[in-house]
Structure 1
Amino acid sequence: MGNVTFKQNPVTLVGSELKVGDQAPDFTVVSNEMNDVSLNDYKGNVKLISVVPSIDTGVCSEQTKRFNEEADKIDNVQILTISMDLPFAQTRWCAANGIKKLDTLSDHRDGDFGEKYGVLIKELRLLSRSIFVVDSNDKITYVEYVEEVTNHPDYDAALKAAGQAK
């Protein structure tokens, strides 16, 4: 995988890099209601998975707000934001920021998503900023591992890929 940095310092990502055409690995994360959620819960839908280190920080907050705003513009796409934040923190942040058009999910319990998608930062136990678009057959159609974790992803490319996925 390319070199990923956090504040210009190299970090180690646990797991394997996923590529376009790969079958999306199933995973288990925790919903804001403290229920287990898996990729299978979204079966048959196109998924745009927005991965952030912590929803309560600047770039992560902007990323989540941007995808929430764009949700109405892309039909038949379920947007998921996954971070290591506790579900309680995600719920509080979403309420304070009017986030209602996407699902925030927590990988805090065991890092299952992070390891299976190759985005778990070993040194920080945070998820590396990334975007995955998964079609209705659970094939990956778009991947972006953001090289510098504190930078924004390519929103336009991700949204275009989600809009084109079937």
Structure 2
Amino acid sequence: MASVTVGGNVANLTGKELNVGDKAPVVELVAKDLSSIKVGGASDKIQVIAAVPSLDTGVCATETRKFNKDIAGQEGVLLTVVSMDLPFAMGRFCSTEGIENLQVGSDFRNKEFANAYGVLIKDGALAGLTARAVFVVGKDGTIIHKEIVAEVTTEPNYDAIVAAIKSQSGCGCHSSCSTK
């Protein structure tokens, strides 16, 4: 199974490893209002599913703000940030930070997403949380981009995410997407 580093220390991942070309499993998450939301599978929009350890860290907060500003809310794109944070904390974060263009989903109940997508940290200081990862899922439900960020304390490659969205003609930016 894959591994990542957390502050330079190796942490192993567990769950089913997915790759580009695989079908994205449909999983249920808990929204900030305690309702259920689903990610994965076929959809009328390109899905960007970003897993983060916790919105209550600087890197995760920065990543979520960038996604909200630069990628989420684009025509034909649905962006979901997934973490193990409690729905109440996710709601407070979104309120405080003005996050309105994306949805947040908590995987705290049964770690269904983390296991189905192979991003559950098995050991080390962050055991039980999700690794930092991004999956871009085409409208047909196929994973067209996957990045498990090697060092959990660094941000993902935003340009590669934008390129994957553009490859599906779902950017909605009309001229170019910005990640700055």
Regions of 4+ moved over 4 Å: none
- Consecutive unaligned residues of structure 1, counting only runs of 5 or more, are none
Once the two structures are superposed, what CA deviation does each residue of 1:5-56 show, in whole Å capped at 9, x if it has no partner?
1111111211122111100011111011111222269722110111110011
TM-score by length of structure 2 reads 0.86
1:139 corresponding residue in structure 2: 142
TM-score by length of structure 1 reads 0.93
Contact 1:5 1:11 in 2 (8 A): yes
1:45 corresponding residue in structure 2: 45
Change in Cα spacing, 1:39 to 1:73, as seen in structure 2 (3 Å) is closer
> What is the identity percentage for the equivalent residue pairs of Structure 1 and Structure 2?
39
- Displacement of 1:165 after TM fit? 2.2
Contact 2:2 2:12 in 1 (8 A): no
Paired letter, 2:16: S
Contact 1:74 1:163 in 2 (8 A): no
1:21 corresponding residue in structure 2: 21
Whole-Å separation in 1 of the counterparts to 2:42 and 2:145 = 17
1:117 aligns with 2:120: no
Whole-Å separation in 1 of the counterparts to 2:6 and 2:26 = 27
- Displacement of 1:72 after TM fit? 6.1
1:126 aligns with 2:129: yes
Matches for 1:40-79 after TM superposition, within 5 Å: 43-71=43-71, 74-79=74-79
Whole-Å separation in 2 of the counterparts to 1:35 and 1:58 = 27
Once the two structures are superposed, what CA deviation does each residue of 1:52-73 show, in whole Å capped at 9, x if it has no partner?
1001111100100001001368
Richer in helix (by share): 1
Contact 2:85 2:106 in 1 (8 A): yes
Helix, strand or coil: the match of 2:3?
coil
Whole-Å separation in 1 of the counterparts to 2:2 and 2:113 = 19
Give aligned pairs, total. 166
Helix, strand or coil: the match of 1:127?
coil
Helix, strand or coil: the match of 2:61?
helix
Deviation larger for 65-74 or 118-127: 65-74
Helix, strand or coil: the match of 1:12?
strand
Whole-Å separation in 1 of the counterparts to 2:17 and 2:72 = 30
Whole-Å separation in 2 of the counterparts to 1:121 and 1:72 = 26
Paired letter, 2:108: H
